[in-house]
Amino acid sequence: PIVVLAFTGLALDLPPLDQLVFPFLDGMWTEADVATAIAGALAAGRLMPTDSGGPAEEGEETLEAGELARRSIRRLVDRCYVLG
């Protein structure tokens, strides 16, 4: 599980993918759980398969749910203190 206790310098305006992933950083969920939630959001059309979860920019690659989960978790965790 991933536990996030405090963020440093994180803007409140998160891209769509990180908005979806952020609530999963409470220590109750695994990366696989996050990927499953992302896959559901992709299937429902609430996210795009891009690094931000928003519309693709010209030439931007599309990614699968597991890679999107890894990237978002890494991006969010890099901006916080992790204890435990």
Is pLDDT above 80 for 4? Answer: no
How would residue 13 be classed by pLDDT, with cut points 50, 70 and 90? confident
Report pTM.
0.81
Nearest-angstrom CA–CA distance, 77 and 2: 9
Nearest-angstrom CA–CA distance, 18 and 32: 16
> Tokens representing 46?
């609430």
Is pLDDT above 80 for 12? Answer: no
Is pLDDT above 70 for 8? Answer: no
3-state DSSP assignment of residue 7? strand
User: pLDDT by residue (tens digit) across 41-77?
Assistant: 999 999 999 999 999 999 999 999 999 999 999 998 8
